[in-house]
Amino acid sequence: MLRYLIIFVAVTNFFATGMYVVNPGPQYPPTKGEVWPKPQYEKKEDKYFTHNSSFIITPTNYTCDILNKAIERYAFTVRALHNMARRSRKNKPHRHRQVRGAPTTEKYEEVHRTHALQKMEIVLTSPCEELPHLNMDESYSLTIDRISILRSESVWGALRGLETWSQLFYLTDNYTQLRINKTHIMDYPRYKHRGLLLDTSRHYISVSNILKTLNAMAMNKLNVFHWHIVDDQSFPYQSEKFPNLSALGAYHSSMIYTHEDIQKIIAYATERGIRVLPEFDVPGHTRSWGVAYPDILTKCYDKKNVIGLGPMNPINNATYTMLGQLFEEIQEWFPDKYLHVGGDEVELNCWKSNPELQDYMAKHNVSAYQLHAIFMQNVIPLLQNKSLPIVWQEVFDEGVPLSSDTIIQVWKNQWVNTMVKILEAGHRLIFSASWYLDHIKSGGDWTDFYIADPRLMVYNATGNDSLLDNIIGGEACMWGEVVDDANVINRVWPRSSAVAERLWSASLAASYRARKDALTDARHRLEEHTCRMNRRGIAAQPPNGPSACVTHIHQ
């Protein structure tokens, strides 16, 4: 209450004097023990418990390596906070502000014994699945008491529940206690495809930073790592069937992803309930392929002069032969049921300039747009029955016949009309148009991502809720032109956290006042969550304005 009174006085002073009075402290004081993304149902009581080193987590019914490793990870995470409190109690009392109602250091042990957590039981009611998938069950319930219970029908729900459990812990203002309130949560995701696209072609992103990205995704309950692994600028995927693609097309021999790297990333993601969705974008965005195999690309002409290489050659049988063999290898290495084959931003003017393609289009009475459709019609069957395709929206826009299993990713302007057309045609879609992380306004631009909701957009445009279930989710997209290992983590986080909450949590209320209140609440919660990520080794940038985050307390 005092904080809001100070703000009121500051605003009053501005109108009276023309000056703002800036007070010390964070612009948006962080919450304590609030979960991100916000659970579907949560009831929290004033009663709290403390954590001690004797606390145990016990799986019942079913268990497996994925669950056991997760228990070990999250127990370590909470112990790290516990150790911060322990170190703080050893420091001199004057170094911390005393919290009203908090016990003194001398009384800590007595209170700690009285209110300490004893254990948490994880009740997994079905056997573990080996791999995350589009339709996996991520629901869970969690009750925090002296003996806490986490219940889920799947190992994936248990992972999400463990993440929630770890976020409910908080340090008191003087950092001497680690607390968790008595709480009951019932939770599940609103959308089942909740992704992050990472471009590793424009700049190579190290395996270690990809693993950090996966850790952050798990903290935000994102479940799809869309790996845009190759593009025009470089080809860092090291193929065993076509080794020259990376030998000649990568920036450097140290900037490639080997089979072992890919296995490591997939295993790491799987342990966190995250699918790895590879994208090999064709026929455009393929210039790096042509360093080793120029014949599969189209020569672009200015009048009679060749000025460079453009998209893949759509009438060259060698193009399809090579793609078929490469896709077969990709399907062996990447276990997910879906494979993204791109189809966006094809340089049609290059095709139009090529004499060979001019003759073909004239002979068959087709346009360059139709040539693109022909190419995709030839490429998608190369997946055979091993994978289902995901494509960018241009493939739908240009009338390519697509099976009902094909998922379409929407990213361009006028996206609401496009979504309606896709849904009315009976296709499922994932949405990205409002969530391009390379579009930067200023600090705090996460709020634009936070209010974008594809189902709400379609419903407001049509009033028809029967279409909404086929909007299966969305992705934040981190294109790599101006991010590399030095800044990719703090460019993505916590801005992607806004997308994560929109894809997991309940929709925002319709009224202006309710949405404004929700944003204010989110600002405070995101301050806590950003500090939480930094404490776990994710170098997330400040979300709002002036703030502070204590990540270490020394002995």
Percent of the chain with pLDDT over 70: 92
The whole-number average pLDDT for the span 32-43 is 98
Residue 50: the pLDDT is 94
Q: Provide the pLDDT for residue 11.
A: 42
Residues of the chain with CATH 3.20.20.80: 193-508
103 sits in the region (left: phi over 0; alpha: psi -120 to 50; else beta) called beta
* pLDDT tens, residue by residue, 375-385: 999 999 999 98
φ, ψ of residue 159 to 5 degrees: the values are -60, -45
Q: Which residues are catalytic?
A: 345
Judging by DSSP bridges, how do beta strands 140-144 and 178-187 pair with one another? antiparallel
Tell me if 393 sits within 8 A of 416, measured CB to CB: no
Output the pLDDT for position 470: 97
pLDDT of residue 18: 59
Q: Is the pLDDT of residue 442 over 90?
A: no
193-508 CATH pick, 3.40.640.10, 3.20.20.140, 3.20.20.80, 3.30.870.10: 3.20.20.80
Mean of pLDDT values over 263-277:
98
Element (H, E) at 333: helix 317-333
Report d(CA 183, CA 180) in Å as an integer: 8
Q: How confident is the model at residue 554 (pLDDT cuts 50, 70, 90)?
A: confident
CATH 3.30.379.10 in the chain, residue ranges: 28-187
Mean pLDDT (the chain) is: 91
Look at the block and give the residue holding tokens 């909701």: 453
pLDDT confidence tier of residue 444, bands split at 50, 70 and 90: confident
pLDDT at 17: 53
**Residues 238/257, Cβ–Cβ less than 8 Å:** yes
Tens digit of each residue's pLDDT (9 = 90 or more) over 38-63: 999 999 999 999 998 889 999 998 99
CA–CA separation, 436 and 196 (whole Å)? 10
Q: Which residues contact 137 (CB under 8 A, 6 or more apart)?
A: 152, 153, 154, 156, 157
For the segment 197-204, the average pLDDT, to the nearest whole number, is 98
The first and second tokens of residue 12, run together, are: 């009053």
Q: How far apart are CA 207 and CA 435, in angstroms?
A: 24
Is it the case that residue 6 has pLDDT exceeding 80? no
pLDDT average, residue stretch 323-347: 97
- Based on DSSP, count helices (H) and strands (E) in the chain, helices before strands: 18, 17
Nearest-angstrom CA–CA distance, 267 and 357: 44
Q: What's the sign of the alpha-carbon dihedral 542, 548, 551, 552?
A: positive
User: What CATH number is given for 28-187 in this structure?
Assistant: 3.30.379.10
pLDDT in tens, 304-332: 899 999 999 999 999 999 999 999 999 99
Asked if 430 contacts 413 with a C-beta cutoff of 8 angstroms, the reply is no
Q: Give CA–CA dist 541/539, Å, rounded.
A: 7
What is the average pLDDT across 387-415?
93
Mean pLDDT of 265-271: 98
Q: What is the mean pLDDT of residues 150-169?
A: 98
What gap in Å lies between CA 47 and CA 496, rounded to an integer? 33
Counted residue by residue, the chain has a size of 555
276/10: higher pLDDT? 276
Contact 277, 226 (CB under 8 A): yes
Closest CA to 218 of 330, 150, 120, 132: 132
- Per-residue confidence (pLDDT) for residue 303, from 0 to 100: 87
Asked if residue 521 lies in contact with residue 53, where contact means CB atoms within 8 angstroms, the answer is: no
Range with the poorest average pLDDT among 92-96, 354-358, 463-467, 518-522 = 92-96
Strands 140-144 and 147-152, how do they pair? antiparallel
Q: Give the pLDDT score at 225.
A: 98
Question: How far apart are the two ends of the chain, measured CA to CA in Å?
Answer: 35
For residue range 75-126, what is the model confidence (pLDDT) as tens digits?
999 999 999 998 988 875 544 444 444 444 444 444 444 589 999 999 999 9
Distances, alpha carbon 503 to alpha carbons 166, 187, 329, 470, 483, in Å: 21, 13, 32, 14, 25
